[in-house]
Amino acid sequence: MKRTMLIFSCILLAGALLVPAVDAHFLSHPDADDVRGRLDLRRVSLVRDGAELDVTVRTHERFRDRDLLEGGFSIHFDSRGARGSDFSLRMDLNEGRPWCTLSDRQGFSRYETKGTRGRRSFACSFARAELKPTRHIHWRVRSGSNETKDLAPDQGWFRH
């Protein structure tokens, strides 16, 4: 009985150690210190948390409200049919609060919610169903202000 418990515990432990490593590999991506300005992307992540998707962008430097008002961050999702962006998530300010707006290909707002802002980070969560995915989600991140233009990845798309 003890032996069975031990083997079972080892299997559970191995599973717990393996899963985060695989997730981290596929869902979180570094971006180089490769452009000027405060919105130079450092790391971007897309994590599935049950039915929710959590998007987080991190920058090399602290950014200001002004940087968000001049452009902020946008995430493009390719989740349906032909290649190209089907939905985009804007991460900026609305009446001084961190704000997330998910819009469709035509630019119509489909979902809005409060974001979470740190000195060098911005995060949004929304239901995966909002993307109406018909296949694997591909995504990419753009940051922009008067002094910064950055992309992650530098070319192409991440695959969820």
Cα-based distances in Å from 124 to 5, 19, 34, 48, 119: 41, 23, 24, 12, 15
What binding mask, one character per residue, do residues 9-38 give for Ca ion by CB under 5 A, x or -?
Answer: ----------------------x--x----
Q: What is the CA radius of gyration of the chain?
A: 18
Rank residues 131 and 152 by Cβ distance to Ca ion and give the closer one.
152
User: Can you tell me the distance from the alpha carbon of 74 to that of 72, in angstroms, rounded to the nearest whole number?
Assistant: 7
Taking CB positions, which residue lies at the least distance from Ca ion? 31
Q: Is 39 one of the binding residues for Ca ion (CB under 5 A)?
A: no
Rank residues 40 and 92 by Cβ distance to Ca ion and give the closer one.
40
Among 38, 39, 40, 101, binds Ca ion (CB under 5 A): 40
Rank residues 90 and 140 by Cβ distance to Ca ion and give the closer one.
140
Q: Is 154 one of the binding residues for Ca ion (CB under 5 A)?
A: yes
Report the nearest approach of Ca ion to the CB of residue 108 (Å): 29
Report the nearest approach of Ca ion to the CB of residue 104 (Å): 26
User: Can you tell me the distance from the alpha carbon of 76 to that of 144, in angstroms, rounded to the nearest whole number?
Assistant: 14
Report the nearest approach of Ca ion to the CB of residue 84 (Å): 20
Task: Give the long-range contacts of residues 93-98, CB within 8 A, separation 24 or more.
Answer: 93/65, 93/68, 93/69, 96/65, 98/68, 98/122
Rank residues 52 and 154 by Cβ distance to Ca ion and give the closer one.
154
Nearest CA-CA partner of 56 in 89, 22, 23, 10? 89
Contact yes or no for 44/141 (Cβ under 8 A): yes
Contact yes or no for 34/143 (Cβ under 8 A): no
Among 29, 37, 39, 41, binds Ca ion (CB under 5 A): 41
Can you give the binding site for Ca ion, defined by CB under 5 A? 31, 34, 40-41, 150, 154
